[in-house]
A and B are shown apart, each in its own frame.
Chain A
Amino acid sequence: MIIDIHFIGLIIASIMASAVPLILASCGELITERSGVLNLGVEGMMIIGAISGFALMTVTGNLIIAIFGAMLAGVLISTIFAFLTQTLITNHVASGLALTIFGIGISAMIGKNFVGIPGKEFPVLFEGLKDTIPLLGPILFGHSIVFYFAFALPFITSYFLKKTKIGLIVRAVGDSPESASNQGINVRLVRYACILYGGAMSGLAGAYLSMIYTPQWIENMTGGRGWIALALVVFSTWNPIKILIGAMIFGGLTIIQFHMQAIGVRIPVQFLTALPYIVTIIVLVVISRDSRKIRLSTPSSLGKSFHKDN
C-alpha cells in the first residue's frame, strides 16, 4: 500500500475539524464549572446554537450575523439556566437536564422549515497555502476562522485562569463561594457571567456543526457531542490543555473507525462506534491520575447551590 503524505495530512485535518465543536463547548463548560456551576445543558445549548446559526444564515444570508446570533442564542438559553440556579437556587443537575430536553425539543420545532435546505459555503483562510508544504499544508491552512479560534481557545483559557485576576476570581468562587462572598466578591454575578460564557461557547460549537462542518440542518444533529464535551471537562480534571488532547483522541478515533468501517475491517461495528468513547476516557483517566492534582483542580463547590443569608 502506498501511503500518500498529502492524504495523511487531510485525515489529520479532518480529525481536527471534528474536534472543534468538542473543544469549544468543553472550554466554555470548563469556565462554568470552574466557577462551581455544573451545567448539564451543554447538548441543549449546542443544538440551539446549531439551529439558530443555520436559520439566521438562511434568512439573512449574513454569516457574521449568523455566527454571533448563534452565540447570542446560546447566551439566552443559558440565561434561563442561570436564572433558575443562581436566582431561584434550584438544583443544578435537574435544571441542566431540563435545559437539554428543552433545547432539543425547541430546535426540532424551529428546524422543521429548514430541513433539506442546503447551507452556504463558509469562507476559509489561507486556502492558497494548502499545497505549499507537504503534510503540514492541509493541517495548518484552508480552515475557517472558527477552527483557528477553537485551537487557540484551550491556551487562552489556561492563560485566563492562571494569569489573570478575573480568572483567579472565577477559581476562587468555585473553590469556596462562602469565602469569596466574605471577601466582597459578588458570587452570583461571577457565576452568571461564567454560565453565559459557557452558553456562548456551546452556541458557537453548535453553529460550527450546522454552518461549517456539515452545512445543513438535521434534527438532533449534535448527536451527543454535548455530553462528550461534558465528559471531557471532568476527565481532563478541568485542565484546558488536556481537553484539547481528549478532543483530538475522540475526534481521531471517530474518523479512523469510519475509515475502518469503510475498508471493511472485520470488527463488529458496535465495538468500533463505542471505541472513541472508551479510549478517550481511559486515556484521560490515565493522564490525570495524580490525586493531589485532582484535588487542586477540582472546583470544590461544583454543583452546590450558594445561598447568601443575612
Chain B
Amino acid sequence: MNTNLKISNVTKIYPGCVANDNVSLEFNSGKIYALLGENGAGKSTLVKILSGVIIPDEGKIYLNENNLKLNSPLDAKKNDIGMVFQHFNLFETLSVFENLIIDSDEQRESLREKIDTIMKKYNFSIDLDIPVLNLSAGQKQKVEIIRCLIRNPKVLIMDEPTSVLTEQETSELFLSLKKFSEEGILIIYITHKLKEVMQLCDEVAVMRRGKLVSVSEIKNENIESLANKMVGQNLKTIKKKKAKTSSGQLIKISNLNFTSEDPFETNLVDINFSVNRGECLGIAGISGNGQSELFQVLSGEIISEKNSIEFNKNYIGDLNPQDRREYLMAFSPEDRLEQAAIPQMKIFENVALNNFKSSNFFNNGLINENKIKEHSKKIISDFNVNTDNIELKSQFLSGGNLQKLIIGRELITSPDLLICFNPTWGLDVGAINYIHETLIKINEQNKSIILISTDTDELLKLSDKISVIHKGKLSKIMSAEEVTSEKLGILMGGAN
C-alpha cells in the first residue's frame, strides 16, 4: 500500500528564533528522502514535530489524507510513524528485551518471537538479555530500529543516524534502510553529511535557517550543488600551500611512554616525533587507539618525564597545561562542551578560563569583568562566532560556534603551537570550512599545529606530515604528498 505523508505550512517559533518557517513538504513511500541542512537549520525541529515531541505553532500534518493530531510521541506511534533519534531513547540499565517490551502491548513470548523474526530477516544479531549499556552505538541503534519495526510503521524517520557509527556500521545501516524502503516503508533521513545523501537517498529537501530552500531529485544534484544550497553561498575549495622548507624545530617528543591504570585507556608506547615551525603534523587513526591519551600527554593533562617533551628548547614534560600555555602552547580538546568549555558558564567566563596567569583579567584575585568582556567581543568578531550576546551560557552555542569560540580563545594569544583533537567533529560544512581556513592561516604565519583527527580527508587536506596511531604506537612519519587515503586506511588497521 502506498503511504503519503504531507507537511503543510508548519511553523514553530522559539523566543528569538524561527525554527520552522512555513514549511511544506510531501513524501511518498518507495523512496528514501533526505532532509538536509546545517546544524540549527530546523531539521530536528521538523522531525520532532512529526514524532509528536514538539507541537507546532501552526500547520497541519496529513498521513494518507488524514489530518494527524500529534500531541505526544504516543500519537505518532499510534499513527505508525516511527522515529530513531540522534540521541538514543533507550534505558541504559534495562535489558534490551525490557527496553522493547516497555511500550508494547504484546505478551512476552509473542513479542520475543516477533523480535526474533525481525532480527533474522534483517540479519541483526543482538543479545536480548544484556543491559543496553553493554551495547555498542551501532547495536543500540539497531535496538531503536527494532523498536520501530515491531509496530509495522508506515514512516520511519532517522535523525542523524550515522554520527555515532563506524564506517562498517554505516554501510550495514544503509543496506537495512534500502530493504525497508523496498518493503514499502517511507524513509526520511535527516543529515548534514552530503556524501550520505548522494549514496543513499532518492530525493532531497534542503533547509536553511528554518526555511525550506529546495526539493529535488538526487540524480539532478551533486555534492557541490547541495553544499551550496545548504550553506547558501558558494563555498570556495580550500587548498593548502606547501609549507616552506624547514625553519627550525619547535617541538620534539622523545621516548615518551604512558602506562595507564585504567583498563579502558590505551597505553602509549615509545612515541617519537618532531614538528618544525610553520608545519602541521597530522595524526590519523581509528578512534580509541590512544589519541585521547596522546592529546592529554601533549597538553599536560597527563604529566610525563621532563625530558620527554622539548618545546622551544625547554624541557616541559612535567608541566601542567597552565604552565605549558606560558610557553605559548594552545589546546583545543575533542569534547567541546565538557573539556574545552563549561556548559553552564557564560561565554565571557569561559573565555577567561584558559588564561589565568599572563592575562590582566584578574586584579588581586578579583575578576576584571570589563577586560574579559572586551576581550570576548574581540574573539567573537575576529573568529566569526555567530552571536552578539557574550552573556549567553556556552551550552546554548551551536557546535560550530562553540568550536570557533574555543579556537579563537586559544589563538588570540598567538601561540607558537596549537594542538587540536577532532576540531571539526560533528560540525556543518560552513563551520568546517571556516575552521580549516583558520588552521591553514596559522601555518602561514609560521606557527605549528599538531592535528589529531579521525577524519582522513581533513588530515590529507591540512597536514604537511602525517603519522598513524595504532594501539598506542605511532607509525613512521610520512610526507603528506606521498600518502593516500588508502595507505592511511591500511596503517590505521594495524598493518605495516
- A157 on the B face (CB < 8 A): no
Q: Give residues 162-190 of A contacting B (CB, 8 Å).
A: 165, 168-169, 171-172, 175-176, 178-185
Taking CB atoms, residues of chain B closer than 8 Å to A172 are: 91, 94, 98, 102
- B92 on the A face (CB < 8 A): yes
Q: Give residues 93-147 of B contacting A (CB, 8 Å).
A: 93-94, 98, 101-103, 131, 133
- B303 on the A face (CB < 8 A): no
Min distance, Cβ A150 to any Cβ of chain B, angstroms: 27
Taking CB atoms, residues of chain B closer than 8 Å to A310 are: 54-55
Chain A interface helix/strand/loop/mixed:
helix
Do B101 and A178 touch across chains, with their CB atoms under 8 A apart?
no
> What's the Cα separation between A310 and B85 when bound, in Å?
17
> What's the Cα separation between A22 and B102 when bound, in Å?
31
Identify which of A178, A184, A300 contacts B103 (C-beta below 8 A): A184
Provided the pairs A296-B93, A300-B92 are in contact, do residues A184 and B74 lie with their beta carbons within 8 angstroms?
A: yes
Do A168 and B102 touch across chains, with their CB atoms under 8 A apart?
yes
- A266 on the B face (CB < 8 A): no
Do A169 and B102 touch across chains, with their CB atoms under 8 A apart?
yes
Taking CB atoms, residues of chain B closer than 8 Å to A185 are: 102-103
Taking CB atoms, residues of chain A closer than 8 Å to B194 are: none
- B77 on the A face (CB < 8 A): yes
- B72 on the A face (CB < 8 A): yes
Chain B's interface size range is: 20 to 34
Do B101 and A181 touch across chains, with their CB atoms under 8 A apart?
no
- B250 on the A face (CB < 8 A): no
- A257 on the B face (CB < 8 A): no
Min distance, Cβ B473 to any Cβ of chain A, angstroms: 30
Taking CB atoms, residues of chain A closer than 8 Å to B149 are: none
Identify which of B51, B85, B94, B133 contacts A171 (C-beta below 8 A): B94
Do B103 and A183 touch across chains, with their CB atoms under 8 A apart?
yes
> What's the Cα separation between A262 and B102 when bound, in Å?
55
> What's the Cα separation between A184 and B72 when bound, in Å?
7
Chain B interface helix/strand/loop/mixed:
loop
> What's the Cα separation between A168 and B94 when bound, in Å?
8
> What's the Cα separation between A297 and B496 when bound, in Å?
45
Against B, the Cβ 8 Å flags (1 = close, 0 = not) of A280-297 are 000000000000000111
Do B54 and A176 touch across chains, with their CB atoms under 8 A apart?
no
Identify which of B51, B91, B133 contacts A179 (C-beta below 8 A): B91
Q: Which residue of A lies closest to B147 (CB)?
A: A183
Provided the pairs A183-B73, A184-B72, A310-B54 are in contact, do residues A165 and B93 lie with their beta carbons within 8 angstroms?
A: no
Identify which of B89, B90, B93 contacts A297 (C-beta below 8 A): B93
> What's the Cα separation between A295 and B90 when bound, in Å?
15
Taking CB atoms, residues of chain B closer than 8 Å to A178 are: 89
> What's the Cα separation between A180 and B88 when bound, in Å?
11
Q: Give residues 256-301 of A contacting B (CB, 8 Å).
A: 295-298, 300
Taking CB atoms, residues of chain B closer than 8 Å to A171 are: 91, 93-94, 98
Do B93 and A175 touch across chains, with their CB atoms under 8 A apart?
yes
Do B94 and A175 touch across chains, with their CB atoms under 8 A apart?
yes
> What's the Cα separation between A178 and B54 when bound, in Å?
13
- B53 on the A face (CB < 8 A): yes
Q: Which residue of B lies closest to A179 (CB)?
A: B89
Taking CB atoms, residues of chain A closer than 8 Å to B51 are: 182
Taking CB atoms, residues of chain A closer than 8 Å to B72 are: 184
Taking CB atoms, residues of chain A closer than 8 Å to B74 are: 184
Q: Which residue of B lies closest to A309 (CB)?
A: B54
> What's the Cα separation between A180 and B102 when bound, in Å?
9
Q: Which residue of A lies closest to B76 (CB)?
A: A184
Interface centre among A169, A171, A179, A185 (most CB of B within 10 A): A179
> What's the Cα separation between A3 and B109 when bound, in Å?
55
> What's the Cα separation between A296 and B94 when bound, in Å?
8
> What's the Cα separation between A184 and B71 when bound, in Å?
10
> What's the Cα separation between A172 and B100 when bound, in Å?
11
- Using A169-B102, A184-B77, A296-B131 as known contacts, list a sample of 20 further A-B pairs with CB atoms less than 8 Å apart, ordered by residue number in A: A165-B102, A168-B98, A171-B94, A172-B91, A175-B94, A176-B90, A176-B91, A179-B89, A179-B90, A179-B91, A181-B73, A182-B51, A182-B73, A182-B89, A183-B89, A183-B103, A185-B102, A295-B133, A300-B93, A310-B55
Q: List 13 A-B contacts (CB under 8 A).
A: A168-B94, A168-B102, A176-B89, A176-B90, A178-B89, A179-B88, A182-B85, A184-B77, A185-B102, A295-B93, A296-B131, A310-B54, A310-B55
A interface residues, Cβ below 8 angstroms from B: 165, 168-169, 171-172, 175-176, 178-185, 295-298, 300, 310
